[in-house]
Chains A and B, each alone.
Chain A
Amino acid sequence: MPFEARRWPVWRQVTGRDLLGLGGTSTSNLTEVRTARTASADRVAPSICPYCAVGCGQLVYVRQGEVTQIEGDPASPLSRGRLCPKGAASRELVNSPLRELKVKYRRPHGTSWEEISLDSAMEMIADRVIATRDATFEEVDQQGRPLRRTMGIASLGGATIDNEENYLWRKLMVGLGVVQVENQARI
């Protein structure tokens, strides 16, 4: 019998001492050389699932500056190591080649994206905020009561980002007098 056929798992299961196929027959040469990504990681960062608000514990495995695996954290009293299909897919969420890497800019009436630097984008956005704020600023209402605000700018979003980020963003908006700041809780 040729060597390859003797490696055939069913043959090994029948001729070996592994009738149920749960032992050595379920291994191959590849099994011997492969190691789990969790074992080869050089760092594990404690984390929390970014999808729903249950807040399942995650462990993020990192090797050479890349996220190689994301697992449920068994120590969490909420999730006890479990993740749902979305949480289990979060490695793809952060590593997907479809993720945006560079700033994209679409000029008014443009028909395609253009590439601009992050620095230029930040500069342009700061200028737009100041100009719109100046053009729409309301010092007082019709009865002379102070308003100190702009209704020309609005902001939406916050439920997918951190507390610290929400706090700092709202602080900035309050300072600018932007009152239309909202997030997903409104839907």
Chain B
Amino acid sequence: MNSDCVVVMGSNMAECHPVAFQWVVESQKRGGKLVHVDPRFTRTSALADLHIPLRAGSDIAFLGGLIHYVLENHRYFRDYMVNYTNAATIIDEHFLDTEDLDGFFSGWNQDQGMYENRTWQYRGGSVWAAAGQRTAPPPQGEGVVVAGEVPFEDPSLEDPHCVFQLLRRHFSRYTEEMVERTCGVPAAQFRRLAELICDSSGPERTTCFVYAVGWTQHTVGVQYIRTAAILQLLLGNMGRPGGGILALRGHANIQGATDIATLFDVLPGYLPMPMAQDATDLDGFCRPHGGAAGGYWGNLKAYLVSLLKAYWGDAATADNQFAFNYLPRLTGDHSTYQSTLGMVDGTVKGFFVLGENPAVGSAHGTLHRRGLRNLDWLVVRDLYEIETASFWRDSPEVAAGEVRSEEIGTEVFLLPAAAHTEKDGSFTNTQRLLQWHERAVDPAGDRRSELWFAYWLGRRIREKLERRRLDRDRPILDLTWDYPLEGEQQEPRAEAVLREISGVAADGSPLPGLGALRDDGSTSSGTWIYCGAFAGGQNQAARRRPHWEQSWVAPEWGWAWPMNRRVLYNRASADPSGQPWSERKRYLAWDPELGRWTGPDVPDFPVDRAPTYQPPPGASAENSLPGDRPFVMQADGRGWLFAPSGLLDGPLPTHYEPQESPTHNPLYEQEANPARQLFRRPDNPYHPTAGEEGADRFPFVMTTYRLTEHHTAGGMSRFLARLSQLQPEMFCEVSPELAELRQLRHGGWATIVTERASIEARVLVTARLTPLRVQGQQVHQVGLPYHWGSRGLVRGDSANDLFPLVLDPNVHIQEVKAATCDVRPGRRADQAPS
């Protein structure tokens, strides 16, 4: 709403997040501009001031072009950049760039297929990443900025090893001509956008970027977002009203599930899961190099001990290191695609699926269904009988006669779940806001909440294990597992769980916030970033003061983590002296008379932390950062243009081609991200890349997307009559040129073919897709919604079946936004005429 320019890229916001899009329209009414950069022309494009179609998979080249434009035309926000980012920091002189090594950074180990990041470090002090890979690979060279340790800097930005100069050199060839060749975007159009973004940034104005899975589902997905982060830091658009990089997430509680955390590599609040090679003593784990990190991560031990107390209560004592060694250990990537391969290979035998539908929603569905067929037992909890529960009787493989039900040995339990109207609980939305939903009615029949299921399954297992007195069972038997039960169904009280998540002091009183957490076992908090969600014994997430009764920031609606803060890193909304950069963009400001920060939001640091604060000797954690360092989670308090640690595929984003691409990488000899996760096995074939023999069999680029009327893998929409009527059939979008080339008729059938699968779809011939000129050749793109499966009121083939498993190395997310395919007229061969 406060943005002067909104750039939507990697998202079709108007159709996939329509209600949030009203705020983009509001910003336009106030004179703001909207730009949509996307392979397809959609309803978002229709309302945009500028739509730029680009080749799927080329976004880093595009954004890198913008960085190049900003740097070479001196359009950066110099005061912001010099003070608030690591532009002036000097990097180890042994660092070598992709410009030096033709697509590799220094430290590449060809045998292991991974980087060793010692040469990426700051000169004079190594740093610990605030997020990302702290554990795998082994943290060689990864350290912490110990309080008082000051890396070398050159505020004049002239030192050839300072980040600013490294950045200039790294992006020196990302010119508008290169953007045109790589992305298929005409240089004049690109320049128009670059000027618009620069004109809409600075002390008086702000630009924001909005993305969704169009940026994440790539083998360089994390680096897509890093590229945007660099651009936004150069332009001074972080931590300010109307700025930022906003992720539009697709599920009601995908943010909360990430935070709290049903992910293998993090414990609640992004605390790292210990690896086998990590220290087994708590202090050694929290201070791997003998010193505490600067910034809030310096309190890691307080956060972790509070979690261990929440998990194990009285069984977590100072004598047993608060049960730190009750935590199981990791030995590598244990993400969901590895589990799938484990099922296929027979190592994973039991599988729980809670409100997800991987048989349709995950890449390479064929492989997933093969894994499901090889399990001993499967528990599916859902509202409807989804494909993941019914694979043994109506999957495409069974329908085609490749497998018979009798041959499948998997024991399947389908347990009906309670809906959101049938249970109390909180969702965390895409902007970190916890909102409570109340139970309106009791669930009927065998329907139960996951809270009920987790509690009662745990209780049964504990009762069975209690008798046998095995050491391995101590962690499960010692868990605190006392929750008040309510009603006929004996439902655990959700507010009691939220209270545990938020945290209590030794006397049982609710904690006011994360500043109260201690590392001596006197506090307990299940998720440190959620500490304070139950402050004062009140369910803060349930607050619903109408927006017309409060400021535009609406701090009394729900509760945002951390500390009910609505804009992160909001110290950056003021200049180093604490005054607003401009009246127009006023947010937080230092009041010297009151000796505190004032404004409509909760400051991202102690409210009385003066802009002139200098850490005294021996200060730790947040107190080790001077009063003009806004990025309080970073060890040096600065926004990282250059990431010395935390990423497995380089300290700077680099354009790499997708695993499957119709063209060569125009910038480097190295085609794709060298650190990407590949699974070379017969059941996961990859297409030849450009220039290799057979590449011409799959000449087109395909990309997947969502429709307004359906939800992800369809489990919550294909069973609903109205939504099914609105979008009844799987289709593919092709341009008139491609339709002519492949003899496709609008409304007729097409078969989309890859080495993994062939699927059929109705043909939608539309000028919304346009062929692009990329390196002198014409590239056609095919758009595929991915909602359909073998069940529901409307049925169709699943687009995800077409894709291989190939992942981003940092976050193990699959590349389904760009791969190659062929398109043929007519239905697939095994489809009986109907």
Q: Which residues of A contact B (CB under 8 A)?
A: 43, 45-58, 60, 62, 65-67, 70, 73-80, 82-87, 89, 92-94, 96, 98-113, 118, 121-130, 132, 135-137, 139, 141, 143, 145-149, 151-172, 174-187
Contact = CB atoms under 8 A, between A and B. Distances in A.
Given A55-B435, A180-B339, A170 B268 contact: yes
A141 B324 CA distance: 18
Contacts of A80: 22, 547
Given A78-B429, A89-B723, A108-B409, A152 B347 contact: yes
A121 B416 CA distance: 12
Contact of A168 (B407, B441, B451, B811): B451
Contact of A103 (B416, B437, B722): B416
Nearest to A59: B440
Contact of B446 (A60, A65, A118, A135): A118
Contacts of B353: 155-157
Contacts of B342: 151, 154, 180
B256 A92 contact: no
Contacts of B439: 45
Contacts of A58: 437
B454 A168 contact: yes
B356 A156 contact: yes
A158 B453 CA distance: 13
Contacts of A65: 441-442
B416 A101 contact: yes
Contacts of A70: 421
A130 B463 CA distance: 11
B384 to A, nearest CB: 6
B326 interface: yes
Given A75-B544, A79-B19, A94-B422, A103 B407 contact: no
Contact of A187 (B331, B343, B363, B412): B363
Contacts of A104: 385, 389, 412-414
Contacts of B434: 163
3 shortest interchain CB distances as A-B pairs: A162-B425, A55-B429, A157-B354
B264 A179 contact: yes
Given A147-B328, A181-B264, A168 B455 contact: yes
B610 interface: no
B351 A146 contact: no
A180 B348 contact: yes
Contact of A147 (B251, B276, B406): B276
B253 interface: yes
Interface residues of B, number: 165
A77 B558 CA distance: 10
B263 interface: yes
B672 interface: no
Interface stretch (B374-382, B573-581, B632-640): B374-382
A75 to B, nearest CB: 4
A169 to B, nearest CB: 5
A60 B356 contact: no
Contacts of B472: 137, 139, 148, 177
A50 B478 CA distance: 34
Interface stretch (B224-232, B707-715, B731-739): B707-715
B408 interface: yes
Contact of A92 (B259, B376, B450, B721): B721
Contact of B413 (A108, A125, A149, A179): A125
A24 B256 CA distance: 50
Interface string B551-586: 010100110000000000000000000000000000
A176 B461 contact: yes
A55 B433 contact: yes
A146 B814 CA distance: 31
A132 B454 CA distance: 18
B769 interface: no
Given A82-B22, A149-B328, A156-B339, A48 B350 contact: no
A132 to B, nearest CB: 4
Contacts of B16: 52
Contacts of A166: 253, 256-257, 260-262
A163 B498 contact: yes
A182 B335 contact: yes
A99 B554 contact: no
Contact of B252 (A52, A112, A179): A52
Contacts, number: 480
A182 B328 CA distance: 15
A120 to B, nearest CB: 10
A159 B154 CA distance: 45
A178 B712 CA distance: 27
Specify which of B19, B268, B331, B347 lies most central, judged by the most chain A CB atoms within 10 Å of its CB. Answer: B19
Nearest to A162: B425
B252 A48 contact: yes
Contact of A87 (B19, B392, B445): B19
Nearest to B254: A159
Given A125-B457, A149-B328, A156-B336, A49 B252 contact: yes
Nearest to A45: B440
Given A145-B329, A182-B339, A53 B268 contact: no
22 contacts: A46-B437, A47-B421, A48-B436, A53-B430, A54-B430, A55-B435, A58-B437, A67-B421, A78-B19, A84-B19, A94-B419, A94-B422, A96-B384, A99-B719, A100-B383, A103-B415, A122-B456, A126-B457, A146-B276, A148-B329, A162-B253, A187-B363
B425 A165 contact: yes
Nearest to A113: B414
B428 interface: yes
A145 B385 CA distance: 43
B17 interface: yes
B716 A93 contact: yes
Given A87-B19, A126-B461, A53 B328 contact: no
Given A67-B440, A147-B328, A179-B328, A132 B350 contact: yes
A85 to B, nearest CB: 5
A126 B276 CA distance: 28
B355 A160 contact: yes
Interface in B363-420: 363, 376-377, 379, 381-385, 389, 392-393, 405-416, 419-420
B188 interface: no
B258 interface: yes
B20 to A, nearest CB: 5
Contact of B454 (A49, A82, A172): A172
Nearest to B259: A163
Contacts of B716: 50-51, 86, 93, 160
A121 to B, nearest CB: 5
A167 B260 contact: yes
Contacts of A85: 708-709, 722-723, 726
Contacts of A92: 720-722
Contact of A153 (B255, B348, B392, B546): B348
A111 B254 contact: no
Contacts of B409: 108-109
Contacts of A110: 392, 405
Nearest to B475: A175
B122 to A, nearest CB: 31
A64 to B, nearest CB: 10
Interface in B695-729: 708-712, 716-717, 719-723, 726
B454 A157 contact: no
Nearest to A173: B262
B501 interface: yes
